[in-house]
């Protein structure tokens, strides 16, 4: 099967562009869970379809983009006859905003926001039809900053705040998983050692040591949760050769 990809870009001027695309992609079909009568059976490959239109701005010091998108993908579930099969689809529709740039000399910002409506359609049962897709939040947002410390050449501090909205852990949307916020901070130092550029980094993810469920997923009616990592310190050294 061929998988078409169509895309077009129209530049209104040197800093502003409009674009659109249509993509079809193949992915491996799901495997029937152990609770199904046809356990272990792999379904035929899925065909996902995506449509997207947007606008991008590049003003040199500042840039950003806005995109509207819609994606559909076949879904699978265990029916009343205990057979796992593909039927219906998951539809994701939303808007995505992104911005990046240098607010002042030495202060760089990067942020994004995604609002997403993800629904199960044509499922064959009233308890799931039109319900939200497992593990997909309506809202995700992040904002990050990096600041060059004045008077200390090569030293920079950075921070990032991440927000993920609440999700459902089952197809009938009766089990809700709360949303969460996470704060990450870091420091970077650039120096030279014997003529080679050396980058020293230290980072603390989940600075406040918040307990949260990072994600949920799984088959309809058989979901799972992934716990978020606790406060984590990492250090690294990089050398340019």
Looking at residue 212, its pLDDT comes to 96
Looking at residue 170, its pLDDT comes to 87
Q: How many whole angstroms separate alpha carbon 65 and alpha carbon 112?
A: 9
Looking at residue 78, its pLDDT comes to 78
Looking at residue 5, its pLDDT comes to 94
Looking at residue 178, its pLDDT comes to 96
> Domains of the chain (ranges plus CATH)?
5-239 (2.40.170.20)
Against a cut of 0.75, is the pTM above it?
yes
Per-residue buried b or exposed e for 93-105, using 16+ beta carbons within 10 Å of the residue's own CB: ebebebbbbeeee
**Tens of pLDDT, residue by residue, the chain (241 residues):** 788 999 999 999 999 999 999 999 988 888 888 888 998 898 888 899 999 999 999 998 999 999 999 999 998 877 778 888 888 899 999 999 999 999 999 999 999 999 999 999 988 788 889 999 999 999 999 999 999 999 999 999 999 999 999 999 988 899 999 999 999 999 999 999 988 999 999 999 999 999 999 998 876 555 789 999 999 999 999 999 8
Looking at residue 221, its pLDDT comes to 53
Looking at residue 222, its pLDDT comes to 58
Looking at residue 159, its pLDDT comes to 98
Looking at residue 76, its pLDDT comes to 83
């Amino acid at each position: 099967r061929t998988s078409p990809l169509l895309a077009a870009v129209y530049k209104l001027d040197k800093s502003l562009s409009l674009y659109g695309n249509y993509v079809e992609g193949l992915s491996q079909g799901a495997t029937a869970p152990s609770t199904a009568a046809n356990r272990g059976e792999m379904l035929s490959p899925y065909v996902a379809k995506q449509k997207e239109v947007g606008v991008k701005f590049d003003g040199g010091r500042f840039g950003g983009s806005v995109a509207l998108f819609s994606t559909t993908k076949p879904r699978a579930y265990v029916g009343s006859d205990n057979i796992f099969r593909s039927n219906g689809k998951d539809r994701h529709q939303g808007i995505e905003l992104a911005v990046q740039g240098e607010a002042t000399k030495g202060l760089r910002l990067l942020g994004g926001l995604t609002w997403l409506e993800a629904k199960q359609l044509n499922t064959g049962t009233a308890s799931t039809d039109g319900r939200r897709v497992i593990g997909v939040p309506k809202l995700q947002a992040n904002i990050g900053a990096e600041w060059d410390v004045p008077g200390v050449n090569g030293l920079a501090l950075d921070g990032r705040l991440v927000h993920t909205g609440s999700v459902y852990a089952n197809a009938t949307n009766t089990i809700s998983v709360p949303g969460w916020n996470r704060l990450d901070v870091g420091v970077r130092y650039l120096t030279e050692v014997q003529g080679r550029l050396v980058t020293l980094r230290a980072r603390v993810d989940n600075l406040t040591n918040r307990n949260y469920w990072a994600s949920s997923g799984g088959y309809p009616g058989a979901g799972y949760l992934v716990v978020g990592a606790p406060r984590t310190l990492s250090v690294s050294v990089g050398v340019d050769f």
